[in-house]
Structure formats: C-alpha cells, structure tokens
A = this chain, B = another copy of it.
C-alpha cells in the first residue's frame, strides 16, 4: 500500500503538529497491511492483543455484545485513526473492533509502537492525545444517549461523522459515505432498529438529509447543527483546520 502512513499523518495533523523527524520515524514503522471483510473483527472482546491497527481505507466501529445478544456500538472510526491504540496499555480487550464495510487496515506491533514512542516524546504526546480524544467522543455520546431525544442524537451523529471526514478531506459538498446499516446506527444510538428507521424518516421529512444505501447527503448543515446542538469543540481539532460551514 503506497503511502500507508500518509493516511495516519493526515489524521494526526488534524489534532496536532507533526515534525519532519516524527514523519521519518513514522515512515519506518513496520506495518502489516490487511484487508478486512464487512463485519470482520480486527480485535475481539476478551482477547489479549500485542498489536494495534491503523485504519487506512474504509470504516470501522467498536462494539460490545451483551449476554442477552444486545449490542452497543461505542464509536465509529474514520481513516487515519488507530481505534485500538488503547490496547498498547490495556492489552486485554474489553470490547471488539470491527470493519463496518470492507476495509484496509495496517497492523503495527506494540513492541514497534513502544520503540517509536521511546524515541519521540512528541509522538508520545500525539498518540496519547489521540486516545484522549476518543475519550472525549465517548463523553459526548454519553450526553447524547442520556439527555437527548432520538432525532437530535441521530442528527448529532451525522454532524460528527461528516466533520471527521471533512477535515481529512474525505467529504466535500455535503456528501459522504456512512456504510452502516440501520441496525448498526440503532446500536450506536442505543435505540431499536424500528425506531431508528422512523427517526431517519423524520430527518428526511425535515429536509435535513438524504440517506440511501450508505450514502448520505446533507441538505441543510445549519438545520442539522441547530437540531443536534452540534459544537465540534469536543473533537479537539487543531484551531487552524477548516471545519464544515454552510
């Protein structure tokens, strides 16, 4: 995969500053490129792992399955992110990480990551910061789940994903791919699939989005933002990144 770390770099540069020496160090990281099929786990709940993966192409989600079969999706991840970087210090997975659609990931051994971090305090800070931003997103989701009505929550999720894709250049003109089926969106929102379907129809009826076959078109960004009360500061992006506006 040519420029595997370019994807990682683009993401890192949206949340902090990368020096040239860091760039060189990252380029030297041994990465094993793997193609994951839809729904395939990159890491599974309960397992002790010795590698993390950077998402290069596609879409991933983290999730937890309950004894009764219920599932809660905890996060969606976009290219350049390292969804299971936390496993570097919490080697036993307390949830699973899967490809939402067919995706390309790059596995990096923990030993190689540790060696890299020893050599660059700046990358240490950046990687730590990346895990802290995951944490900030969890907090935001908790607020959405606990205190917001279904439509607003769904609108917020759309705003979040669009913003994340936009800043790495993977979304323009209010169109993007959200390769999740309604049941997955439901599991992310903490709702039933039936109600998620009706909530989507609500958003459509309000002329805020189109959503079909994993393709979203935002019809009114200001309308969505207002409904969602979306404020991107919790994403802790660099002050100089270009946020969506319109």
A residues adjacent to B (C-beta < 8 A): 62, 64, 66-67, 70-72, 74, 86, 89-90, 92, 94-95, 118, 121, 124-125, 128-129, 131-136, 138-143, 145-148, 187, 189-190, 229, 233-234, 236
Contacts and interface: CB of A to CB of B under 8 A. Distances in A.
Chain A interface main SS type: helix
25 contacts: A62-B139, A64-B139, A66-B229, A67-B229, A72-B143, A72-B146, A74-B139, A86-B135, A89-B125, A89-B132, A90-B236, A94-B140, A94-B233, A118-B121, A128-B128, A131-B131, A131-B135, A135-B135, A138-B138, A138-B139, A138-B142, A141-B142, A142-B145, A145-B145, A145-B146
Contacts of A71: 147
Contacts of A236: 90, 92, 94
Given A138-B135, A139-B74, A90 B129 contact: yes
Contacts of A129: 89-90
Contacts of A128: 89, 128, 131
Given A86-B136, A89-B128, A118-B121, 14 more contacts: A66-B148, A70-B147, A72-B146, A74-B142, A89-B125, A89-B132, A90-B133, A94-B140, A94-B233, A94-B234, A128-B131, A135-B138, A142-B145, A145-B145
A141 B86 CA distance: 18
Contacts of A86: 132, 135-136
A189 B146 contact: yes
B190 A139 contact: no
A102 B236 CA distance: 31
A66 B224 CA distance: 17
A220 to B, nearest CB: 20
